[in-house]
Each structure stands twice: as C-alpha cells, then as structure tokens.
Chain A
Amino acid sequence: MHETTILQVEGLVTEFKSERGIVNAVNKVSFDLERGQTLGIVGESGSGKSVTNLSILRLIEYPPGRITGGKVLFHDQDLLSVSENEMLSIRGKHISMIFQDPLTSLNPVIKVWKQIAETLMLHQGMKKQEAKKQAIELLRIIGIPDPEMRAECYPHQFSGGMRQRVMIAMALSCNPDILIADEPTTALDVTIQAQILDLIREKKEQYQTSVIMITHDLGVIAEMCDQVCVMYAGRIVERAGVEALFGSPKHPYTRGLLESIPRMGNVGTQRLHSIKGSPPDLANLPPGCPFRDRCDKAMDICASQLPPEVVLQEAEGERTVACWLYPQEGKHGRA
C-alpha cells in the first residue's frame, strides 16, 4: 500500500443466490485508488461494476447477495470486517455515493433541503436550523438558482439535471474522502451530462476528493479518469492509465470496446463494429477465460485455464491485464 493509496480493494468476491445457483457477480476484484485520483470502472451491463462499489460500502442486500471474500482497506481498516455501526459513520461521511437515476434517488415526499440536511445532521451533529442554512449554501455551490426558494421544493418540482445536482450536494455535504459515482450521467441529456461531469470534476479538485466513476460510456472515462479498470463477467480484465488504455489497449475485450465507439468520419461508409456474441451466464461459468467465446484471438489454453493477472511495466506506468496473450511477461499480479 503506497502512501497515497486511500482505498485498496483486494480479492473482493460478492455472490448472489439465484434459482439457478450461485452467481459470482464480483469475482476476485482488486484495485487501488490513489488520493485525489479519478478511477474509472467500465464494462457492459452485468459485468459487476455497480456490485463492486455497493460491496465497498456494504450495501448489498442479504439475502440474496453476500460478500464472501476479500478485503476493502480504507485508512488501514478493513471495511468488510468493521461493525455495522462503524459502517454507518463511514457511509456519507468518508465515502459517499451518487446513483444512476436521479429521478428515483430522492425521496419524493421530503423537501429537498431536508434531504441534504439529513446527512449533515447525521454526521456533523448539526442542529436543524444550522443544517438548513448549510443545505441552502450547498445548493448555491452546486449551481441551483434561487436556492432559498428551491430548498422548499419537493424533488418532483426539479428537473433531472437539478436532481442529480442535489444528489451531488448530498454526497459532498460532509466533504468525503471518496466519492463513488455510479453512472451519474446515464439518465441525463447530453448537454446536462457535460454540466454534471464538470461539476463533479470541479468539486473533486476543490475538496481533494478521490472519485470512483462507474460508467459504460468510454467518452466519460476519457474525459474524467486517470486510471481505468475494464470489467468483464465480474473480473477486471485490464487496468491501466487512461492514455495507455486508449492508446494501446491490450486485452481483446478492451480493444473490442474501443472499436465499437462510433466515429464521425465513418458515418455511412462503414458498419458499426460490435463484439460478437453476448456475455456468459454468470450462474454457469465454464472453466477458462470467460471471454473466449467472443474472442477472435482465443487459443487452446483459454478454454481450460483462467488467465492470471499479469503486470506489465510500461513507459507510462504499470498495467495489469488478464489474458493468455501476455503470458508471464512480467511478474504475476494478483490472480
């Protein structure tokens, strides 16, 4: 663990019981988050990006979900082994989260200021009036016009973008060390998306917050992140700096993802690229690499053995990739 590492996830396993057996939604995921850094987690639906982050905050509903292995080290403390009461004082205060759908993430029958003030009263012991003042101030900071009047509104009187701003105000109210943004712009218009991303970036720099950005939008990754983890079928298949990843993707899945971005120049002349096939059934994972059926570089070994994570030392920094194309090049990473 480096001096600057604020969160270290190691070998995280989260499983869900389903009718068809146990699903390993997150399977031995490891990554580090450096202070002040933005880490992107990208992957398609069901790849385990959201579950990974809900597991960090221990927000997995049991049953059916359960965290069965690994460590989440935050300030030398394993979040997976602290008591639920200690967890309550970490959520919202040290690590907070923004959710995908701002339309459903706010309580419809509680006034906006009250929902922001709630976190302040819970974690900072503020009295109601003081918390209200602070909540209005936060609304002003995140760019809601006429915050005194707006604070008295109910969420349904806000637009989607404004509601996401309120969510951000709530998440940042206690000045957390880590902000987890779970697809914060997926449900918003493109124009609003840019505003929200700018807001997150601005506040991140202002408060020195580390950010985990979950998304399936590679454009967001390119714009926001320093480090990127690419997830597939509950595992991280490639982890690298954002420039290295976009410049020379190593894992065939990452390459496929990058090639499927539509480009302006090719409109009308070329069919959009897509990765053939569909993600594997997580309840029934075959041995070997989960991506091999869709991979055009599949070899014999891919069918029988799971590729270990291999650390490659590059000019831009460290890169980890889990693919048999890069066997034993460097020393083994965490399997």
Chain B
Amino acid sequence: MKTPRIVRNKIALAGLIVILLYVLMSIVSLFWLPFNPVAMNSAEVLQGPSLASGHLFGTDEFGRDVLSRIMKGTSVSFIISVSATALGAVIGIFMGVWAGYLGGKTDNAIMRFADILFAFPSLLLAIFIMAILGEHTYNVVLAIGIVYIPQFARISRGSIIALKGNEFIRAAKSNGAGRTYILRHHLLPNITAPLIVQISLSLSTAILLESALSFLGLGVQPPDPSWGNMLSSARKVMMFAPWTAIYPGLAIVLLVLGFNLLGDGLRDILDPRLRNVR
C-alpha cells in the first residue's frame, strides 16, 4: 500500500496538520470550554497567563478567559471563511468558465459585472454590503462571498481562454464531445492548479476580512467572540495586557499559514505534470 501523496508532500502535510488541529479545537469547543467565554468576572480582570488560575492565555478587560474565547471564535472564523470562500468560488468559477468558454457578448456581460465589483477595494465593498444587509454572521459570509466572486471569475476565465485554443479541446470536439462535456471533463480539470491556489489564499484572507469586519464592529457582534472583535477590544488594553492581543493574533496567523501551506502543497499534488514519474 502506497502512502497517500499528501503525506509524502511535507508542505501540504504541515498545512493539513495545522488545519486539523483547528478543526479539532472547534469541535471540542462545542462540548467543552475551560471557562464560559461570555461570563464576565470583575474579580479577574486582565489577569496575565498563568497555570495557577487556570487562565492559560490570561483574561480580558471583562475578566473573560482568552483561551475559551479563542476556542469559541474558531468555529465562527472557520465557518465564515469556508462558506464565504465556497460561495464566492462556486458562483465566480461558474461565471468565469462560461464567460471564457463562450466568449463574445456573454463574456462581455459577465466580465463587466465582475469589473464593477472589482473596482471597489475588497474591504470597502465588504463594509458596503454589511451596511446594506445589516450586522449578522450570515451576512458576513454573504459579504465576503460577494467580494470573492470577481476574483474567481477572472482567474477561471483567464485560464479557460488560455486553454480552449489547445489542440486537445479540438480533438475532444472531433470525438463528438459536447460543450458542457468539454467544459466539465477537459477544461475544469486543467484549471485546478490556479483555482486551488486562489481558494487557499481566499480561505486565509476571509479570516483576515472577517477579523477586519469584526474589528470595525460590523462582523460578529459582542458578546459573542470572534478573533477580530477580540483584537478590536484588546486594542484599548494591549499596552499593559499584551496577551489579549497576542493570542487571538497568533490564532489568525497560524490558521492563515495552514491554509496557505495546504494550498501550495495541493497544487503540486494535483498537477500530474509535477508528480514524479512512477
């Protein structure tokens, strides 16, 4: 039995392990947390990290346990980044491949729409959508997803256009393959490499975007914890209680790194041309 390629690829494996640790943490958080993440405790305000008190990552300005809040925030960040990326990727790739494949007026209509979305800086666009939709976790997903649509559309359109002039597409046509068939079986498998890179980048920027939105008070609403609103509230006290900012920040950095490593590794794994010849 051969070891799966993902295990042999060190980079992808490292990324996968990091992500699995986070998944584990978010599952654990559903059943057990060291402390109640929203219960305030005025007796233990801004305690430093210590084993004795049980607050491993210290407490924040309301005496809430930082570790519990990070753990609780993991599932929020995860759900938001995965579903927002999925939303943007599915719609964006669908639009992009048809635009690229059909060309002409369809292409023009789809891509001008994407250009309009692209004209706004992503954070600004997300803030704009949040302002329209109102502050809610689902709306964060929607806002980030919409921000992603043009990015995926553009990447997939470009790759499809580069590909569709290839002889093998013509060969597939000459074998009687129809339009949808060629798109699904010949074009899509060939653009997975750029898309996977984009997905891994998107997963990580979604976490950053969600943090930014929460930081600005537009994302996950207090008292529910998210890494972004933890950083936001830590801003006032981080000069004398740095742990309130460092640990949520680290949580973000590590997960972003994990997604990027996995994406990088996956790209190498999924492209047969980069594999070792057996």
Contacts and interface: CB of A to CB of B under 8 A. Distances in A.
Interface of A: 57, 59, 63, 85, 88-93, 96-97, 99-101, 104-110, 118-119, 122-123, 154, 156-157, 167, 170-171
A106 B175 contact: no
Given A109-B271, A118-B185, A91 B175 contact: yes
B170 interface: yes
B175 A122 contact: yes
Interface stretch (B23-31, B55-63, B176-184): B176-184
10 contacts: A59-B170, A88-B178, A91-B175, A92-B177, A93-B176, A106-B171, A107-B168, A110-B186, A122-B181, A171-B175
Contacts of A157: 277
A154 B272 contact: yes
B137 to A, nearest CB: 38
Contacts of B277: 157
Interface residues of B, number: 23
Contacts of A123: 176
B167 A101 contact: yes
Interface of B: 104, 166-168, 170-178, 181, 185-186, 189-190, 192, 271-273, 277
A57 B174 contact: yes
A105 B185 contact: no
A99 B170 CA distance: 9
A90 B271 CA distance: 33
A97 to B, nearest CB: 4
Nearest to B171: A105
A110 B166 contact: no
A110 B185 contact: yes
Nearest to B188: A109
A122 B176 contact: yes
B176 A105 contact: no
A85 B181 CA distance: 13
Interface of B is mostly: helix
7 closest residue pairs by CB, A with B: A92-B176, A92-B175, A91-B176, A97-B174, A104-B167, A154-B272, A105-B171
A108 B174 contact: no
Contacts of B272: 108-109, 154, 156
A171 to B, nearest CB: 8
A59 B174 contact: yes
Contacts of A97: 171, 174
A142 B158 CA distance: 37
Given A59-B174, A92-B175, A118-B175, 11 more contacts: A59-B173, A88-B176, A90-B176, A91-B174, A91-B176, A93-B176, A104-B168, A107-B172, A118-B172, A123-B176, A171-B175
Contacts of B168: 104-108
Contacts of B177: 88, 92, 118, 122
A109 B190 contact: yes
A88 B182 CA distance: 12
A260 to B, nearest CB: 29
Nearest to A100: B167
Contacts of A122: 175-177, 181
Nearest to A114: B185
A156 B173 CA distance: 21
Contacts of B171: 97, 99, 105-106, 167, 170
Contacts of A156: 272-273
B103 to A, nearest CB: 9
A157 B171 CA distance: 19
Contacts of B174: 57, 59, 91-92, 96-97, 99
B172 to A, nearest CB: 7
The CB with the most chain B CB atoms within 10 A, among A108, A109, A118, is that of A109
A99 B167 contact: yes
B170 A170 contact: no
Contacts of B167: 99-101, 104-105
A113 to B, nearest CB: 14
Nearest to B176: A92
A90 B175 CA distance: 9
Nearest to B104: A63
Contact of B173 (A91, A100, A107, A170): A91
A96 B173 contact: no
Contacts of A93: 176
A14 B147 CA distance: 45
A149 B171 CA distance: 24
B235 to A, nearest CB: 48
For B166, B172, B175, B190, which residue has the most chain A Cβ atoms within 10 angstroms? Answer: B175
A323 B167 CA distance: 36
A85 to B, nearest CB: 8
Contacts of A91: 173-176
A96 to B, nearest CB: 6
A178 B176 CA distance: 14
Contacts of B192: 109
A89 B166 CA distance: 22
A108 B193 CA distance: 13
